[in-house]
Homo-oligomer: A and B are copies of this chain.
Amino acid sequence: MSLVPVLDDDEMKPEARAVINEIRDVRQTDFVNNFWRVLANDPAALKRTWGSLREVMGPGTLDPLTKELIYIAVSIANGCEYCIRSHTAAARARGMSEAQMMELQSVVAMASETNRLAIGLQVPVDDVFKGLPPAPASSGD
């Protein structure tokens, strides 16, 4: 059970319901998951979080499936069950195969293993890894 109610549409304030309906429009489905129904208790937070998510996960230089895989990886590292499950569902809907999911899990586990070794042994950063990218002018383009 969440710390605040999982709101049905008719329990929400109008500002919250407007965001929920925008989620429906963008995702082209009537189903709106609990994360948003809980956030709806704070319409401003709902609007801001959805706005950021829509922008970050929208069209860019990385393809949508890659972004979902990164999202799952972070959620595993942060130990967020809800996020692992909801973004795994999203990734499957975007075409992630079961083999790709298992491979993702192996990469996340491998990274966690070497992360601990590098931190644990206090490996000094090689000079070659400290440099900036060749030309500042090329960044952000």
A120 to B41 Cα, complex, angstroms: 14
A55 to B43 Cα, complex, angstroms: 13
For A120, what are the chain B residues with a Cβ–Cβ distance below 8 Å?
A: 3, 72, 76, 84, 104-105, 108-109
For A6, what are the chain B residues with a Cβ–Cβ distance below 8 Å?
A: 123-124
- For this chain, the copies found in one complex come to 6
Q: How many residues of A contact B (CB 8 A)?
A: 96
The answer to whether A2 and B121 touch across the interface, beta carbons within 8 angstroms, is: yes
> Chain B nearest CB: distance from A43 CB in Å?
6
A61 contacts the other chain (CB 8 A):
yes
The answer to whether A141 and B99 touch across the interface, beta carbons within 8 angstroms, is: yes
A4 contacts the other chain (CB 8 A):
yes
**Interface of chain A: mostly helix, strand, loop or mixed:** helix
Q: A35-B118, A52-B113, A62-B69 are in contact. List 14 more A-B contacts (CB 8 A).
A: A2-B121, A5-B136, A33-B129, A35-B123, A39-B117, A71-B107, A73-B77, A74-B107, A74-B116, A81-B119, A81-B125, A82-B124, A109-B117, A112-B115
List the B residue with the shortest CB-CB distance to A8.
B136
> Which residues of A does B touch, CB under 8 Å?
1-7, 11, 13, 16, 31, 33-35, 38-39, 41-45, 48-49, 52-53, 55-57, 60-62, 66-67, 69-89, 92, 97-126, 128-133, 136, 138-141
